[in-house]
Amino acid sequence: MVTMKVAFIGLGLIGGSIAKTIRKKYPDSEIVALNRSEAPLEEARKDGTINAGTHEVDHNFEGCDYIFLCTPVETNKFFLPRLKPYLQSGCVLTDAGSVKGVIHKAVSELLPEAHFIGGHPMAGSEKSGYANANDHLIENAYYILTPGENSTIDELNRYEKFVSSLGAIPLIMSPDRHDYITAAVSHVPHLVAYSLVDLVKLKDTPAEYMKLIAAGGFKDITRIAGSDPTMWEQICLENPENIVELLKDYEEILSGMRKMVEEADGKGLHKIFEEMRDYRASFSVSSAGPIKKIYDIYCDIIDEAGAIATIATILSTSGISIKNIGIVHNRTFEEGALHIEFSDEASKTRAVEVLERHNYSIFLK
């Protein structure tokens, strides 16, 4: 018996990965996909991900519970009017785009009757295409949902549960908030990374010593400057107001730092560095508001080589999987503490039992 029907427009990295995850979690579902090129459709039919493939919006789109738009935003817009005859009652239309305001605006103008809930899986890779899609890309990833004007609370609840059932972590917010938040934590940092690389390119010595030395830490902090230029051009053009506003804020912060360096204000610099180090150390800790509960513990350890590996081994041999693990340094812990996150309460409870049995001191916040 078919448990649900889902359609995809665009069966690349993101569409393909969501489709594969649905096939894994809902083996009896009916999945159809539209793609421009034939190769992904053929591959997905062969590996059992989709039941049917098509190159245009046709009868395959009848009776869907969800329709996912997973092509670039401009292409998603093109398909909106074509979907009109296929929006049966209860069908949620969604997308996977990295900027939400533009698609919400397009839906209001081109397909206002759609029950649209925007979606943004905070997962990805530098690679694209169905060939790189997998059934665990969105696992444990935050998946932002932005309800549209016409979507109901019931539909939102249903979609939220659906996303959870796929192993991702749903977060609900308005499209505006999404675009502001992602501008701060993703879009502006990409521009900063590109600009840092530019600085070195411009200022390097003829012997290219900067480039030589940049192989280490500099390469780490500019890793995201290796991202797809076309995708980042599109994102900057789709979210300009937020990016410009936050870039201005950032320029002020940078000017403040430059001033402190010029004035040899060591105390001022030290204060900022200390505050930012501590704030950063708090990033993976559960926050209030819309952030889903995190199941975490702190384990007191001596900060030495092998400490993390020992604990990871103890947990994995007890069948407990770790979602996230890392050392935190702050004044609460004398030496260092290992912050460990789990996917559910049961894993956390078992981990506490197992680690205490091995004489580790556990702190719960």
Q: How far is CA 152 from CA 87, 99, 171, in A?
A: 15, 22, 16
The binder of ligand NAD chosen from 6, 33, 50, 73 (CB under 6 A): 73
Separation CA 237–CA 73 (nearest Å): 11
CB-nearer residue toward ligand NAD: 188 or 315: 188
CB atoms within 10 A of CB 226: 11
| Minimum gap (Å) between residue 191 Cβ and ligand NAD | 17
Does 183 sit near ligand NAD (CB under 6 A)?
Answer: no
Does 40 sit near ligand NAD (CB under 6 A)?
Answer: yes
Does 96 sit near ligand NAD (CB under 6 A)?
Answer: yes
Does 225 sit near ligand NAD (CB under 6 A)?
Answer: no
| Minimum gap (Å) between residue 10 Cβ and ligand NAD | 3
CB-nearer residue toward ligand NAD: 98 or 146: 98
Does 14 sit near ligand NAD (CB under 6 A)?
Answer: yes
Structure tokens at 100: 């939400």
The binder of ligand NAD chosen from 37, 282, 286, 361 (CB under 6 A): 37
Q: What angle do CA 334, 338, 339 make, to 5 degrees?
A: 120
Does 75 sit near ligand NAD (CB under 6 A)?
Answer: yes
Q: Tell which positions 105-144 bind ligand NAD, by CB under 6 A.
A: 121, 124, 128-130
Binders of ligand NAD: how many residues, by CB under 6 A? 23
| Minimum gap (Å) between residue 80 Cβ and ligand NAD | 13
| Minimum gap (Å) between residue 120 Cβ and ligand NAD | 6
Does 53 sit near ligand NAD (CB under 6 A)?
Answer: no
CB atoms within 10 A of CB 51: 16
Using CB atoms, what's the residue nearest to ligand NAD? 12
Does 35 sit near ligand NAD (CB under 6 A)?
Answer: yes
Does 33 sit near ligand NAD (CB under 6 A)?
Answer: no
Does 171 sit near ligand NAD (CB under 6 A)?
Answer: no
Three-state SS across the chain?
CCCCEEEEECCCHHHHHHHHHHHHHCCCCEEEEECCCCHHHHHHHHCCCCCEEECCCCHHHCCCCEEEECCCHHHHHHHCHHHHHHCCCCCEEEECCCCCHHHHHHHHHHCCCCEEEEEEECCCCCCCCHHHCCCCCCCCCEEEEEECCCCCHHHHHHHHHHHHHCCCEEEECCHHHHHHHHHHHHHHHHHHHHHHHHHHHHHCCCCCHHHHHCCCHHHHHCHHHHCCHHHHHHHHHHCHHHHHHHHHHHHHHHHHHHHHHHCCCHHHHHHHHHHHHHHHHCCCCCCCCCCCCCEEEEEEECCCCCHHHHHHHHHHHCCCCCCEEEEECCCCCCCEEEEEEECCHHHHHHHHHHHHHCCCCEECC
Does 101 sit near ligand NAD (CB under 6 A)?
Answer: no
| Minimum gap (Å) between residue 108 Cβ and ligand NAD | 18
| Minimum gap (Å) between residue 245 Cβ and ligand NAD | 21
The binder of ligand NAD chosen from 25, 36, 105, 219 (CB under 6 A): 36
CB-nearer residue toward ligand NAD: 118 or 147: 118
Does 10 sit near ligand NAD (CB under 6 A)?
Answer: yes
CB-nearer residue toward ligand NAD: 95 or 296: 95
| Minimum gap (Å) between residue 121 Cβ and ligand NAD | 5
- Which residues form the interface with ligand NAD (CB under 6 A)? 10-15, 35-37, 40, 70-73, 75, 96-98, 121, 124, 128-130
